[in-house]
């Protein structure tokens, strides 16, 4: 969340920046400042009351020692009143602080100055495109038809077991999934990311730490009996590894990668754009997370973009990069680049990765700090990216690599798969 001090010092700049998200945040920001002023005033009254009570307690002790019990008992009545006042002020302070925190949670991150204004994904800015779109035969099939033809993904069987959006991968389809996961993890490890295995369920504190709660509560599967949430992405448990930590500057950069299944209760819709692997409730993803010194975070973001580019070049998939506009930007992000692969059989772009810098927004929720050269605690910057999400990468491979003989496997994946064609 945004820092209170920043809101105090840069109120107008924040309100202006949030207009890029098509949000008039003036009432929220003013409400935060009013509650903050009330909180600080109440804290001062409480501190003064406690100080007076402590002072009187010392005086009472001295009076009893001096044999002045009557005077001491008179003062004790006053300290009783002060204790009641302190209790009332403490409860009031807690209520104000809770209301303040609730308002702060409602304010999204302020977009970076480079984020273009806009309302929808149509306003996103294409900044890079690479790769040749293959020319397919006129009878080329979309991936859901290919999956059925070669018996590698069974969507109906997933419906039988669980419901729509939970496919079953079979035979070479399952092996290709495993190959992609291993390849992505190896590429990330070669780039300096430490591989982690993390829980697939998180507690409420973790959800608040990275910003999935309260903003995306309805999109997460909630295990009510234990008050735990199935993760929507490895970003949540991996970033929370450092919650409540104080780092040294020498610890930077911290780079983690993790493979996890991801679970999302996205509202269902119909049509070809959500068929097959295009939108799922459970899918596999390999994530990269970085924690950086604030002076280095945008350099790190550029490095993450180049890293994902390298993977897509290896896979020889045509792709483009979009800088998201304010209206399409995630709640916690200051700047996001989306990668999209071109699905030739569907004749459309499919999002396969988002790479984002959250600046101090998550770190402030996580209480993730570092000691600067003067020994003062500062908030770190957090970043994350998909490297990569499997469903649409797999869809792109199946569709773009289809031939009359079968589906060829990208050369870089053959050692991981143990076969070079699905036929």
Q: Are 264 and 252 in contact (CB under 8 A)?
A: no
Q: Does residue 222 have a pLDDT over 60?
A: yes
Q: Does residue 238 have a pLDDT over 50?
A: yes
- Bridge partners of 369, per DSSP, are 246, 379
Q: Which tokens in the block code for residue 363?
A: 């770190």
pLDDT of 66 reads 81
Q: Mean per-residue pLDDT for 286-306?
A: 98
Q: Does residue 121 have a pLDDT over 70?
A: yes
Place of tokens 């920046």: 17
DSSP string for residues in 209-233: HHT-TTTTGGGS-EETTTTEEE-SS
Q: State the DSSP code for 402.
A: B
Q: Does residue 74 have a pLDDT over 80?
A: no
pTM: 0.93
Q: Does residue 104 have a pLDDT over 50?
A: yes
Q: Mean per-residue pLDDT for 40-44?
A: 97
The answer to whether 352 is a known ligand-binding residue is yes
Query: Quick one: pLDDT band at residue 254, thresholds 50, 70, 90?
Result: very high
The answer to whether 359 is a known ligand-binding residue is no
pLDDT of 43 reads 97
Angle subtended at Cα 360 by Cα 197 and Cα 251, rounded to the nearest 5 degrees: 55
The answer to whether 353 is a known ligand-binding residue is yes
**Coil, strand or helix at 343:** strand
Range in 151-155, 268-272, 312-316 with the lowest mean pLDDT: 268-272
Topology (CATH level 3) of domain 121-422: BirA Bifunctional Protein; domain 2 (3.30.930)
The answer to whether 264 is a known ligand-binding residue is yes
Q: Which tokens in the block code for residue 190?
A: 């070669």
- Domain 4-105 and domain 121-422, same fold? Reply is no
Q: Are 166 and 281 in contact (CB under 8 A)?
A: yes
Tally of CA atoms within 13 A in the half-sphere of 151 that contains its CB: 2
DSSP string for residues in 227-285: TEEE-SSTHHHHHGGGTT-EEEGGGPPEEEEEEEEEE--PPP--SGGGSTTSS-SEEEE
Listed in sequence order, the DSSP H helices in 128-242 are: 143-149, 155-161, 172-190, 204-210, 235-239
The answer to whether 27 is a known ligand-binding residue is no
335-343 vs 348-359, strand pairing mode: antiparallel
CA distance linking residue 1 with residue 220, whole number of Å: 20
Distance from the Cα of residue 417 to its chain's centroid = 31
Q: Which tokens in the block code for residue 166?
A: 């939970």
The answer to whether 266 is a known ligand-binding residue is yes
Mean pLDDT for the chain overall: 94
Torsion angles phi and psi, residue 311, rounded to 5: -65, -45
Q: Does residue 73 have a pLDDT over 90?
A: no
Select 4-105's CATH number: 3.30.70.141, 1.10.3430.10, 1.10.287.40, 3.20.20.70: 1.10.287.40
The answer to whether 320 is a known ligand-binding residue is no
The answer to whether 175 is a known ligand-binding residue is no
Q: Does residue 77 have a pLDDT over 90?
A: no
Query: Quick one: pLDDT band at residue 267, thresholds 50, 70, 90?
Result: low
Q: Mean per-residue pLDDT for 351-374?
A: 97
Q: Which tokens in the block code for residue 165?
A: 């959006």
Q: Does residue 127 have a pLDDT over 50?
A: yes
Q: Mean per-residue pLDDT for 196-213?
A: 97
pLDDT of 179 reads 98
Q: Mean per-residue pLDDT for 45-53?
A: 93
Q: Mean per-residue pLDDT for 383-405?
A: 96
Burial class of residue 201 (count of CB atoms within 10 Å of its CB; 0-12, 13-18, 19+): middle
pLDDT of 148 reads 97
Query: Quick one: pLDDT band at residue 273, thresholds 50, 70, 90?
Result: low
Dump pLDDT digits (tens) for 174-185.
999 999 999 999
Q: Does residue 22 have a pLDDT over 50?
A: yes
Verify cis geometry, omega within 30 degrees of 0, for the bond prior to 253: yes
Residues ≥6 apart with Cβ < 8 Å to 230: 200, 201, 220, 221, 222, 223, 263
Q: Does residue 227 have a pLDDT over 70?
A: yes
Q: Mean per-residue pLDDT for 72-91?
A: 87
Strands of 246-248's sheet, edge to edge?
246-248, 369-371, 377-379
Whole-number percent of the chain with pLDDT over 70: 98
CA distance linking residue 229 with residue 309, whole number of Å: 32
pLDDT of 270 reads 47
pLDDT of 56 reads 86
Q: Which tokens in the block code for residue 88?
A: 């009332």
All structural domains of the chain with their residue ranges: 4-105, 121-422
């Amino acid at each position: 969340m945004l820092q209170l001090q920043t809101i105090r010092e840069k109120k107008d700049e924040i309100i202006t920046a949030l207009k890029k998200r098509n949000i008039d945040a003036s009432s929220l920001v003013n409400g935060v400042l009013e509650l903050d002023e009330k909180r600080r005033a109440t804290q001062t009254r409480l501190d003064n009351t406690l100080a007076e009570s402590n002072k009187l307690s010392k005086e009472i002790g001295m009076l009893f020692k001096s044999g002045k019990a009557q005077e001491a008992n008179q003062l004790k009545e006053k300290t009783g009143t002060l204790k009641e006042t302190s209790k009332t002020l403490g409860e009031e302070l807690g209520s104000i602080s809770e209301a303040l925190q609730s308002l702060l949670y409602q304010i999204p991150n302020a977009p970076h100055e480079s984020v273009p204004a806009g309302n929808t994904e149509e306003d996103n800015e294409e900044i890079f495109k690479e790769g040749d779109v293959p020319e397919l035969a006129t009878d080329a099939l979309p991936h859901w038809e290919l999956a059925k033809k070669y018996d590698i993904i069974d969507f109906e069987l997933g419906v039988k077991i669980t419901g729509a959006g939970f496919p079953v991968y079979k035979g070479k389809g399952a092996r290709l999934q495993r190959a992609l996961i291993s390849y992505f993890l190896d590429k990330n490890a070669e780039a300096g990311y430490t591989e982690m295995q993390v829980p697939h369920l998180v507690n409420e504190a973790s959800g608040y730490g990275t910003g999935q709660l309260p903003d995306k509560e309805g999109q997460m599967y909630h295990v009510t009996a234990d008050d735990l949430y199935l993760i929507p992405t490895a970003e949540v448990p991996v970033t929370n590894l450092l919650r409540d930590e104080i780092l040294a500057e020498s610890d930077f950069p911290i780079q983690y990668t993790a493979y996890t299944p991801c679970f999302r209760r996205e509202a269902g819709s119909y049509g070809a754009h959500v068929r097959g692997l295009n939108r799922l409730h459970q899918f596999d993803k390999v994530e990269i997370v970085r924690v950086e010194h604030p002076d280095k975070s945008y350099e790190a973001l550029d490095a993450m973009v180049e890293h994902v580019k390298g993977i897509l070049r290896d896979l020889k998939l045509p792709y483009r990069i979009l800088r998201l506009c304010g209206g399409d930007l995630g709640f916690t992000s200051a700047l996001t680049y989306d990668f999209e692969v071109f699905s030739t059989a569907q004749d459309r772009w499919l999002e396969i990765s988002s790479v984002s810098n959250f600046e101090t927004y998550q770190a402030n929720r996580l209480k993730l700090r570092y000691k600067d050269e003067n020994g003062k605690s500062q908030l770190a910057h957090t970043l994350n990216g998909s490297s990569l999400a499997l469903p649409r990468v797999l869809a792109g491979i199946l569709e773009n690599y289809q031939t009359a003989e079968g589906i060829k496997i990208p050369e870089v994946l053959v050692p991981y798969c143990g076969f070079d064609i699905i036929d």
